[in-house]
Structure 1
Amino acid sequence: INKTTYVTPKLKDFVFTEKLGSGTYATVYKAYRKSCEHRQVIAVKCIQKSNLNRVSIENLLLEIEILKQIKHEHVVELFDFQWDDSFIYLIMEYCGGGDLSGFIQSKRMIPEYTVRRFLQQIASAVKVLHDHNISHMDLKPQNILLTSNYQPVLKIADFGFAQHIESVQEYSLRGSPLYMAPEMILMKKYDAKVDLWSIGVILYESLFGEAPFASRTLEDLEAKIQSQDPILVPRTPQTSNDCKNLLYGLLRRDPDQRISFEDFFAHPFVDLEHKPSQDCLPKATEIVMSAVASDRAGDLAKAAKLYSEAIEYFVPAIYYENDQLKKAALRTRVTEYCNRAEQLKILSKPVTTPTDSLEQLKLLSEDNQVITEAIQMIFEARKAEKNDKFQQALDLYTEVLGNLIPILGKEKPTRRKELLHSQVQFLLTRAESIRSYVSVQEIEIQQPNVQVENKPTKCSIS
């Protein structure tokens, strides 16, 4: 901007407080409404008319059209737009956490679980744009705003280069080279898939602290883009297989080989179905009620499956919840459901060995101290057997049987009685086998007295 012709922006009914950033055509200010009782904080994007040419005017009009059309929790909201002789003003939602670029720089590398939550938010916004046949064309960390520094919500901003993709007539450079798809940098025909490449670069940079093709000059960047060397995912920090798979799918130089939008939205690392939202807790609660009903009805396999499905919604519900007391209560509930799901997996497992039976009996006998102590003695007896201490093992098995047989007679016909009966039968057989072996070992073997005469072919036994 030519400073000699620059005019200070002023907007009726608003007070400008500080400059948030500036670009070629616009400057963004933090502001608040004079008349608002609660002093609503907003952002005002001020575009000086004298700096606009035909193309930039078309881009601005399209940006306004898109922001008025798209209302989404992860797209920055346009409240209103006004103009005077010198400026066009876009009155927008204020995001107090800065942008994703600053967040990455402050953290250097973001943990994968946080990156995944961020990616879900970006993907949900891009899906809405894709459903309206809109391509952002300039996705980069600087254009992704954070609502706050604590548990930030991401908002895609700056639609100055956005396009309705079917209206692309000329293929020109749009956006920032570091995040630009190879087909755009190399001035080839491109389509909406350029956004997928940009998302891949953002994902990579969030995880590893720098873009995959970080370069000092545009020439260096072009050389790396044109290279046939595969893009390598660093070994540290360690990333999950799903994350690696998505990175390789997004960062394909050839757009025809790049992951499709449909496969991106359905990818297990993106997992939009379990994106943290206000819907997660009601879904989790509904499923867990079915799990409890199946649990009480004795359908253990179905209950375990339902508990696991509920947990998949409870975890993002915890992330979405801002109240710390409610968050802590949810964590406690989820821990209980996780433990129960693990128990049910064991209980629903077909009993094929005494160990299976014993594991299930242990879970069903947590309220019975005699059975619990007997199970511990069985483990000790097994250890003694393993170390060839058979008499010790026999003594332990005998004591266990003396404790369990009286209980077995008093048990009501339940799954626990069935398992207890099976275990007693096995212990009786095992104890008898060891007793026989021990008795054999106690027999004194009389070694024959062999006398050998001088003649090597004869011997006598006395």
Structure 2
Amino acid sequence: MEFCAGGDLSRFIRTRRALPETVARVFLQQLACALKFLHDRNISHLDLKPQNILLSAPESPQLKLADFGFAQYMSPWDEKHVLRGSPLYMAPEMVCRQHYDARADLWSVGVILYEALFGKPPFASRSFAELEEKIRSDRAVELPSWPQLSLECRDLLAQLLERDPRKRISFECFFAHPFVDMEHIPGPESLGKATDLVVEAVRKDQEGDAKAAFSLYRKALEYFVPALHYESDARRKEAIRAKVRQYISRAEELKVLVTSSNKNLLEKGNPARELLKEMAKDKPRLCAALEVASAAIAKEEEGRDDSDALELYQQSLGELLLLLAAEPAGRRRELLHAEIQTLMARAEYLKDQIKMREAQSMGKEALAESVRSACTLQ
């Protein structure tokens, strides 16, 4: 058998108490690749747990999925009344001896991710009876407030740890989830995708389209990071680093131009908003949606947490667009339409700001190879 010098994921987590989100995400992406391979062949592992996930080396490890003693092809009519796996990581439908299918593996993935982030599984218990009681409960799994996690990470955890398998995230949605982000997993095609985007970015830059050029440079950096992690040749890696430095430098110049343009657009006043609020007093849903929009604007102007502000904008716009569709023709509809346009512009501007910071951060990560250093963090 292949020798895995890094031990197993359980020991890796235990010696560090918990893993930073960035490291947990890299490991989750690798686990997702293994599950994609199995899922495409209709195979379920049915005993996913940290002890069965081996690490190829102590530094910059690659995960290796092991112990297929319970694995099987999943029949179209599902399984029933057969307990497989380890209780701590076993899906509720299996513990309750109900019908289960391949989605039982996704519950186990959720428990593994929870343990990696928080240092212990969600149903840690002193006895099997206590464990079974917790698993059989119909209460939603609560996520600790600390450490702080990204919205994407918390969303995925909540969807994986859904007790009802019919409501649990599907494999297709899991593989497509932005936190898993299989599109940007290091691979032989990463550099080619980055290069294609840079060529287009340079073309847009030469045409004077600063916003499009910046967006393309940012997207290219998202592929250059995994390209650097995948490349093993020292000379080629240094050549990629040199190019990345150039692209980061140009992207930061474009960032100044784009930010200045967007700020000038959004700093213009909107007196129609107060009039719309007055005209919405007989519409409780409209009033509530406008209040959420006001909270988003206030959050944005505080400048503390752009992610929270963006989420409020999205909540407000989702409701306002529904109300606009039902609003009859007239002055209020005109004002509502104009307000939605303004809020969309603000949300897009905020999204651009977040993406700009991410691009800058990813560029620095590429140069420092932070995943390697984080994985060896004691």
Kept in 1, the 8 Å contact 2:190–2:223? The answer is yes
Q: 1:233 offset after TM fit, Å? A: 1.4
Matched, 1:177 2:87: yes
TM-score, length basis structure 2: 0.65
Aligned to 1:160: 69
Kept in 1, the 8 Å contact 2:79–2:101? The answer is no
Aligned to 1:74: none
Q: Which has the higher helix share?
A: 2
Q: Percent identity?
A: 55
Matched, 1:204 2:141: no
Q: How far does the alpha carbon of each residue in 1:354-411 deviate from its partner, in whole angstroms, 9 at most, with x for none?
A: 899xxxxxxxxxxxxxxxxxxxxxxxxxxxxxxxxxxxxxxxxxxxxxxxxxxxxxxx
Q: 1:329 offset after TM fit, Å? A: 5.5
Q: How does 1:58-77 map to 2 (within 5 A)?
A: none
Q: 1:330 offset after TM fit, Å? A: 4.1
Q: 2:224 aligns with which of 293, 314, 328?
A: 314
Tell which deviates more after alignment, 297-306 or 242-251.
Answer: 297-306
Q: Report the Cα distance in structure 2 between the residues aligned to 1:243 and 1:349, rounded to whole angstroms.
A: 28
Q: 1:222 offset after TM fit, Å? A: 1.1
Q: Which has the higher strand share?
A: 1
Q: 1:347 to 1:94 in 2, by over 3 A?
A: same
Q: Report the Cα distance in structure 2 between the residues aligned to 1:323 and 1:102, rounded to whole angstroms.
A: 31
Q: 1:325 offset after TM fit, Å? A: 6.8
Q: Report the Cα distance in structure 2 between the residues aligned to 1:157 and 1:140, rounded to whole angstroms.
A: 10
Q: Which 5+ residue runs of structure 1 have no aligned equivalent?
A: 1-91, 357-462
Q: How far does the alpha carbon of each residue in 1:277-297 deviate from its partner, in whole angstroms, 9 at most, with x for none?
A: 222122212221221232233
Aligned to 1:269: 179
- AA partner of residue 75 (structure 2): E
Aligned to 1:114: 23
SS in 2 for 1:166: coil
Q: How does 1:34-433 map to 2 (within 5 A)?
A: 92-166=1-75, 170-322=80-232, 330-331=240-241, 333-348=243-258
Q: 1:124 offset after TM fit, Å? A: 1.2
Tell which deviates more after alignment, 302-311 or 328-337.
Answer: 328-337
Q: Report the Cα distance in structure 2 between the residues aligned to 1:352 and 1:252, rounded to whole angstroms.
A: 40
Q: How far does the alpha carbon of each residue in 1:6-52 deviate from its partner, in whole angstroms, 9 at most, with x for none?
A: xxxxxxxxxxxxxxxxxxxxxxxxxxxxxxxxxxxxxxxxxxxxxxx
Tell which deviates more after alignment, 110-119 or 298-307.
Answer: 298-307
SS in 2 for 1:198: helix
Q: Which 5+ residue runs of structure 2 have no aligned equivalent?
A: 267-378
Q: 1:253 to 1:355 in 2, by over 3 A?
A: closer
Q: 1:224 offset after TM fit, Å? A: 0.8
Count of residues paired in the alignment: 265
SS in 1 for 2:75: helix
- AA partner of residue 309 (structure 1): K
Q: 1:298 to 1:220 in 2, by over 3 A?
A: same
SS in 2 for 1:252: coil
Q: Report the Cα distance in structure 1 between the residues aligned to 2:141 and 2:93, rounded to whole angstroms.
A: 16
- AA partner of residue 246 (structure 1): L
Q: CA RMSD in A?
A: 2.4
TM-score, length basis structure 1: 0.54
Q: 1:348 offset after TM fit, Å? A: 4.6
Q: Report the Cα distance in structure 2 between the residues aligned to 1:299 and 1:251, rounded to whole angstroms.
A: 44
Q: How far does the alpha carbon of each residue in 1:228-282 deviate from its partner, in whole angstroms, 9 at most, with x for none?
A: 3321211222111000000000001111111111111100000100112222122
Q: 1:301 offset after TM fit, Å? A: 2.6
Q: Report the Cα distance in structure 2 between the residues aligned to 1:151 and 1:339, rounded to whole angstroms.
A: 28
Q: 1:142 to 1:353 in 2, by over 3 A?
A: closer
- AA partner of residue 48 (structure 2): L
Q: How far does the alpha carbon of each residue in 1:87-109 deviate from its partner, in whole angstroms, 9 at most, with x for none?
A: xxxxx322221111111111111
Q: 1:214 to 1:343 in 2, by over 3 A?
A: same
Q: Report the Cα distance in structure 2 between the residues aligned to 1:122 and 1:343, rounded to whole angstroms.
A: 38
